[in-house]
Amino acid sequence: MYFLTEVYIALRDFMESGGPVLWYIAILVTFMWALILERIYYFLFVHEELADSIRGRYLKMSFKTPWHKYQAKSRLISEGKISINKNVQLIQVCIALCPLFGLMGTVTGMIEVFQVMAFTGGGDARSMAGGVSKATLPTMAGMVSSLSGVLVMIWIKNKVEENELLMGEYVTHSYTKGDK
C-alpha cells in the first residue's frame, strides 16, 4: 500500500510541475492506449473467430452464377477488412497529436517564462526555471507518448497487412490455422 502512495505522490508532483497541458496529454495517451490494447486483443483472440465466421457464412451460401459467387466473396472480404482496420487511423491520429500537445505545453510554459521576465526584468533565474520546467516536461511527455504508440503501431500495421492479404484465403477456406 505504501508503494502505491509513493507512486501517486510522484505522479501528482510530475503533473503539477508540467502544467495543465500534461493532463490533456495523459487523457490523449489513455485514449490512444485503450484503442491500441483493443487492436492487440482483436488480433490475438478475436480475429480467428471472425475469419471462421466469415468462412462459414461463405460456405453456407448458394450461388446462381459465378458473378454472384464473386460478389458474395468480395462483400465478405470487405467486411473482414473493415474489421481488421477498425480504429487504426484513429490510433495514428492520436500518435500524431501527442507531440502537438507537447508543443502546446512548450508554448504555455514559455509564456510563463516571459511573464516572469516582464515582471522581474529578467534577473530572477529561479522564477524563470519554473516556467522552463513547464515548457520542457510536456514536450518530453508528448514525444515519449508518441514514440510508444509508434512502436506498437508498427506491429499493428504488420498484422493488418498480413491479415488483409490472407482475407481472400480465409473466405474460400483454402487457408488453415496451421499455414501461418
User: How many angstroms separate the CA atoms of 180 and 169, rounded?
Assistant: 12
pTM of the model: 0.84
Decide if 27 is inside a domain: yes
Q: 110: domain range? A: 2-172
| Domains identified in the chain, total number | 1
Check: CB of residue 133 under 8 Å from CB of residue 15: no
Decide if 135 is inside a domain: yes
Decide if 178 is inside a domain: no
Summarised one tens digit per residue, pLDDT across range 83-135 is: 999 999 999 999 999 999 999 998 988 887 788 777 777 666 776 776 787 78
Decide if 177 is inside a domain: no
Summarised one tens digit per residue, pLDDT across range 70-84 is: 999 899 999 999 999
Question: Which three three-digit cell numbers place residue 112?
Answer: 510563463
Name the residue among 177, 171, 178 with its Cα closest to residue 84: 171
